[in-house]
Structure 1
Amino acid sequence: MAKMPISGAYGAHRFAVAPMIDWTDRHCRTLHRQFTRHALLYTEMVVADAAIHGDRERILGFADAEHPVALQLGGSDATKLAEAARIGEAMGYVEINLNVGCPSDRVQSGTFGACLMKTPDVVTEAVSAMKRAVSVPVTVKCRIGVDDQDTDIALDELAKGVFDAGADALWVHARKAWLKGLSPKENRDIPPLDYDRVYRLKRQYPSQFIGINGGIQTIDEGLQHLNHVDGVMLGRAVYHNPMMLSGVDQAIYGSERNPPSIDAIIDHMCLYADAHLAAGGRVSHVARHMVGMFHGAAGARRWRQSLSNEANQTGATSDVIRRAYEAVQTAAIDKAA
């Protein structure tokens, strides 16, 4: 594949798992890390005020084994974002990312997220303040535009501002966001994808890191995008089929190391779930992220049913996960017989 020169600390081609509210928590990241050592994992979006004033261990805590992990922040106040970025760096995050793409009612009421596409100067000020506050990379994740914006103008204005402010990377979800009239779910599907718009932006900025997101379903599709841009980011496709990540290190990073066996991954996640249970959590907090593991395989239905139902029962332990896995193994044997 063709590789373009990339300047700054962000590096060459990257694969990332997108930040997803209510999904990419520490338990999800622990699972994803079993399949890939190198993919960049993101937190859920954390509002700057929550990072500054909330329970930091609960909101921002993570294990070293999850690295590399990036913190995504939401907000529009440059001073608060800079302070939240400092907190994130002190806690060990390898990157601070600003959300300029989420269209949910929550972010609209706070006038941040995708709303910031309408005020690129606010984004520029925020990035500049965050860059002054931390030494780790500061990046932005945006849309190609919102509502009736001309995407050629809107994306160019935003990109120029963030790169002038020193942003280390721009991740672009290659579709518009409609702030009125569409739900967040509809905003992931209805506005048409325009990958070529992101490709054109990369041609304008050959020495800057530009990554692409939106509608990418497989690692092979991601590899095709890397002929045009520097990074590829998958979200829901990976969440619903996490075993897909087992191909990332070799395909994207050229690693010769094989991921652990499924047996080893199940053992690790069971031990992790029991430790979480001992700390006062619930096995379902972990198991819910594992539901898609055997997507398309024999026994997948039984696996999903067990984790969705039994893991939520009072007194559930990691035995729920082990029994469900035994059912998958039995189904595989029966299918092969």
Structure 2
Amino acid sequence: MPVSQEQADWFADAVAQLIANLDQAILGKHEVIKLVVTSMLTGGHVLLEDVPGTGKTVLAKSLANSIEGSQSRIQFTPDLLPSDVTGVTIYDQSSGSFQFHPGPVFASVVLADEINRASPKTQSALLEVMEEGVVTVDGTPHPVGTPFMVIATQNPVEQAGTYSLPEAQLDRFLIKTSLGYPDRQTTVNLLLDSQNRTRSDAVKPIIQASVIASMTQLAAEVHADAAVMTYLSDIVERTRQDSDASLGVSIRGALALARAAKVWALTDRRSYVTPDDIQELAVPVLAHRIILDPEAEFTGVTGANVVERALAAVAPPTTRVA
């Protein structure tokens, strides 16, 4: 069923309220907040990579606080086991049977703090749940429920004792972004409010988890013309042909961009996707999925450069497909 203008307005208003709520804790980062909210409404996950002290954890906790659903925080360390994340089956003597005890991954919003400090085995346990939405223990599947979103953080510095996420597994994250340092005026405002050490605690729940699930379903109904999807496909194909890329964007990445573009359109009160939606989301959704040629990476080429070249080389459509 096509999305009505009334539904598009309701969706946009709800997103605006959610972003305004998060703006209380994260000052001057409206666009990054919008990307994170878009990922949640797409049913995807976010990787926040930035230098220490820029508010990665505050953003994740604030988003969790905004949702009237369950939330959890996992501090990743080298000794963390997969069962510490997913849960474990324990023998109950009183009943004479094994009982499953859910781990912290069973929550609406899961904050995976400093994910690169955990061992690859523990990382893979979390990444599997992100992809499947199910935890399987002793052959029994346990759905984590909906909505389900993982916000993982990692620092690009202080790499001693860390395990970088495999490049191929970065594909599990819908969006990779960073907050960066605040501008001058925002820094001054933060310094004037330096006594406030718990900015995320001021963020109160304003939307129910069930509403988030309904918004995700509504976004799936947004119209995407074949001309726009062909445009997206051509961009993805161009990244695979780039001489600096050992591996371009996968079909999973293309699907992720298509879903995110539908949410992006609704936030702009539109019931249809435009080429502008694809262009605005291409770098945060696609860049981290590209595996660069080692020589190109050594010279400073980034995944964002490859995506930007693809955008420049592919002309957007000017007419709809009949």
Give the TM-score taking structure 2 as reference length: 0.30
Higher relative contact order (CA 8 A, sep 6+): 2
* TM value normalised by structure 1: 0.29
